[in-house]
Amino acid sequence: MAVQTVATTSDSADTVDLGPASGLSCRECGERFALGPVFACEACFGPLEVAYDLPGGDPEELRARIESGPDNIWRYAPLLPVPADVAGKPNLNPGFTRLVRADNLARELGVTGGLWVKDDSGNPTHSFKDRVVAQAIEAARAFGFTTLSCSSTGNLAGAVGAAAARAGFRSCVFIPHDLEQGKVVMAAVYGGELVGIEGNYDDVNRFCSELIGDPAGEGWGFVNVNLRPYYAEGSKTLAYEICEQLGWRLPDQIVIPIASGSQLTKIDKGLRELIALGLVEDRPYRIFGAQAEGCSPVSAAFKAGHEVVRPQKPDTIAKSLAIGNPADGPYVLDICRRTGGAVEDVTDEEIVDAIKLLARTEGIFTETAGGTTLGVARKLIEAGVIDPALTTVVVNTGDGLKTLDAVAPTTGMSAVIRPNLDSFREAGLV
Ligand SMILES: *Cc1c(COP(=O)(O)O)cnc(C)c1O
Ligand SMILES: [Zn+2]
């Protein structure tokens, strides 16, 4: 397969079966292209996204068809860029993670309208990234790639490694060399190649762009670069699941973390599709974006009223969100403004507090990204920006076991005692 970066209208898609996906369209100028491993518009260099022939007809019928599907993202296969028989192919079958009604947390935060945590730590490699990789794998199969790759802030590397192992691809993934041990080990254990780059995520991403244009990268599918349009669609399943689990109802408010901003933009796309298909009642919803203060380019632009995002050099414990130059930043700003939402950021200390708050109230141990999201939710509730009387969903995208260092200094044993009752009494715990 020839290495391509820019779409041309002459690409042939005769043999590509990605279900309802009918082509790619430019998010800037609307130009249409055939399905292929491309991500930028030939006319304006804008990002491409998947366009669909979505199923028409009776919403009741589609809802019933979804509900009778498998307990994973493939129940939504009619709405995704995957072949109809995707559930029978070797993949990790992520998704349909639990939506936890968080009444203890709601009480603590003063939320009366209902608060839920969408807990994506329950995915096969313990982050939401399994959803997006599962789409990219199908595109990689369709386009004949044999090696899977990515630039990663940590979780994606593990998701690609695991999915490649199961689906029979070679993998070679790239991360900043100084990530948390939990993420490094998790990315390496599946047996693929893991390469640490001396630099931050934005350096890793730039390196991968160079590799795509070089013969050394020939035959490689970079899930979040040349397969990005397909990859990104996986985040729509978070929107589908949240609404289905709420009884086919839109939440009023949803709080989502931002790294590149891809997840947030595709959750919005998923919600709009459900409305267009008649699967949920059309009513207003508000989308809120969460960043860490130490990497807050989108939040800074939102607060300043800017339409462009000025890149930052990340310095935060929320490493999975540490993208200083987020590709989807301007689209995130559009969505949060259009829906009446906001983008906010919290300090590393507030992130740690929020991790402990979620653990203490609901028994969910999230990673620093989840601490960021809940920290921002708390801040916006306290500021009166998020309405406590409306339904609110906080998306937990990762697992605290991967970022133990964030909480280890301030958690630990209550006491170390000798194995007898006197010693226990002396410890002052009764
Ligand atoms: C990658 C990641 C995100 C955000 O992803 P984008 O789509 O790039 O904004 C959020 N949380 C976790 C845990 C992640 O690994
Ligand atoms: Zn264009």
- Ligand 1 atom nearest the C-alpha of 323 is 8
- Mean per-residue pLDDT for 162-189? 94
Per the listing, tokens 């640490």 go with 196
Task: Delimit the CATH 3.40.50.1100 region(s) of the chain.
Answer: 99-126+235-410, 129-231
Beta-carbon-side half-sphere exposure of residue 196 (alpha carbons within 13 Å): 10
Helix (H) or strand (E) holding 376: helix 368-382
pLDDT tens digits for range 384-428: 999 999 999 999 999 999 999 999 999 999 999 999 999 999 999
* Neighbouring residues of 9: CB distance < 8 A, sequence distance ≥ 6: 31, 32, 33, 34, 42
How far does residue 369's CA lie from ligand 1's centre (Å)?
Answer: 8
DSSP E strand stretches across 41-199: 48-52, 99-101, 115-119, 147-151, 170-176, 193-197
Is the separation of the CB atoms in 259 and 328 below 8 Å? no
Cβ < 6 A, ligand 1 pocket: 127, 129, 153, 155, 257-263, 320-321, 367, 369, 397-398
| Residue 1: band (very low, low, confident or very high) from pLDDT cuts 50, 70, 90 | very low
| Residue 61: band (very low, low, confident or very high) from pLDDT cuts 50, 70, 90 | very high
Which residue in 373, 16, 340, 319 sits closest to 156, CA to CA?
Answer: 319
How far does residue 257's CA lie from ligand 1's centre (Å)?
Answer: 7
**Mean pLDDT rounded to a whole number for the chain:** 95
Q: Which ligand is nearest to the CA of 156?
A: 1
Q: Does residue 3 have a pLDDT over 60?
A: no
Question: Which amino acid residue places its CA nearest to atom 11 of ligand 1?
Answer: 397
How far does residue 307's CA lie from ligand 2's centre (Å)?
Answer: 18
String of b and e for 297-326 (b: at least 16 CB within 10 Å)? bbbbbbeeeeeebeebebebbbbbbbbbbb
How far does residue 48's CA lie from ligand 2's centre (Å)?
Answer: 8
pLDDT tens digits for range 73-91: 999 999 999 999 999 999 9
Q: Does residue 331 have a pLDDT over 80?
A: yes
Q: Rounded distance, CA 247 to CA 390, Å?
A: 16
pLDDT score of 166: 97
pLDDT score of 14: 59
- Ligand 1 atom nearest the C-alpha of 256 is 10
- Ligand 1 atom nearest the C-alpha of 132 is 7
- Ligand 1 atom nearest the C-alpha of 155 is 15
Q: Which ligand is nearest to the CA of 24?
A: 2
pLDDT score of 8: 45
How far does residue 46's CA lie from ligand 2's centre (Å)?
Answer: 5
User: Among 4-8, 38-42, 279-283, where is mean pLDDT lowest?
Assistant: 4-8
- Mean per-residue pLDDT for 23-30? 96
CATH number for the domain formed by residue range(s) 129-231: 3.40.50.1100
pTM of the model: 0.95
pLDDT tens digits for range 133-167: 999 999 999 999 999 999 998 999 999 999 999 99
Is the separation of the CB atoms in 211 and 219 below 8 Å? no
Bridge partners of 163? Answer: none
pLDDT score of 283: 96
pLDDT tens digits for range 263-316: 999 999 999 999 999 999 999 999 999 999 999 999 999 999 999 999 999 999
Please identify, in words, the CATH class of the domain defined by 99-126+235-410: alpha beta
How far does residue 259's CA lie from ligand 1's centre (Å)?
Answer: 5
Q: Does residue 5 have a pLDDT over 80?
A: no
pLDDT tens digits for range 192-235: 999 999 999 989 999 999 999 899 999 999 999 999 999 999 99
Cα(first)–Cα(last) distance of the chain, in Å? 69
Per the listing, tokens 């990268």 go with 217
Question: Which amino acid residue places its CA nearest to atom 2 of ligand 1?
Answer: 320
Q: Which ligand is nearest to the CA of 30?
A: 2
- Mean per-residue pLDDT for 12-31? 88
Question: Which amino acid residue places its CA nearest to atom 4 of ligand 1?
Answer: 259
pLDDT score of 55: 79
pLDDT tens digits for range 115-127: 999 999 999 999 9
- Ligand 1 atom nearest the C-alpha of 259 is 9
